[in-house]
Structure 1
């Protein structure tokens, strides 16, 4: 049975996410989501008279990819430092 037969309505993937969507996607608090946007770490735009934040899904994916690259560099640096310390202890 497909979604039409079951009566479910399928929405297309949205281009923009609310801070609540961002919060759910990253499993963080609303305050953390707002902080990511306000700091500029995660590019976003404000929409409407009340300035409601929206994050483009593509920007979120780019942010996540960058976070993975950063984590990999940190692991490499930690491994390098462990090698240096081990070498120093041999002296």
Structure 2
């Protein structure tokens, strides 16, 4: 058996993401970070592979947001939520 378990607790997940346990719980409760409840007390567990996928998705989201903010379309109010973004060098 591997020394690395398949599932992480909320505390483990919070440590990996460098956030508080309550923030990790919020991600799970909102459905943003998929998790399962196990045991009679219903303890949340996050699968390692799911957490890794979540992290990769957040990197991609950040990359796309950065590209969007650098694009000419970010200066069009109707495409940027009504706000004009300026690129400051």
TM-score w.r.t. the length of structure 1 is 0.76
Greater share of residues in helix:
1
The Cα shift of 1:13 comes to 1.1
Runs of 4+ aligned structure 1 residues displaced above 3 Å come to 81-85
C-alpha distance after superposition, 1:7-32 (max 9, x if no partner): xxxx6111000001001111100110
Q: Cα gap change, 1:83/1:17 in structure 2, threshold over 3 Å: closer, same or farther?
A: closer
TM-score w.r.t. the length of structure 2 is 0.78
What's the Cα RMSD here?
1.8
> CA–CA distance in 1 between the matches of 2:17 and 2:56?
13
Runs of at least 5 residues in structure 2 that lack an aligned partner in the other structure: 77-89
Query: Is the Cα–Cα contact under 8 Å of residues 68 and 74 in structure 2 kept in the other structure?
Result: no
> CA–CA distance in 1 between the matches of 2:29 and 2:61?
20
2:45 to 26, 49, 54: 54
SS, match of residue 71 in structure 2: helix
Q: How many residues align?
A: 75
Runs of at least 5 residues in structure 1 that lack an aligned partner in the other structure: 1-10, 86-91
SS, match of residue 69 in structure 2: helix
- In structure 1, the partner of 2:35 is 44
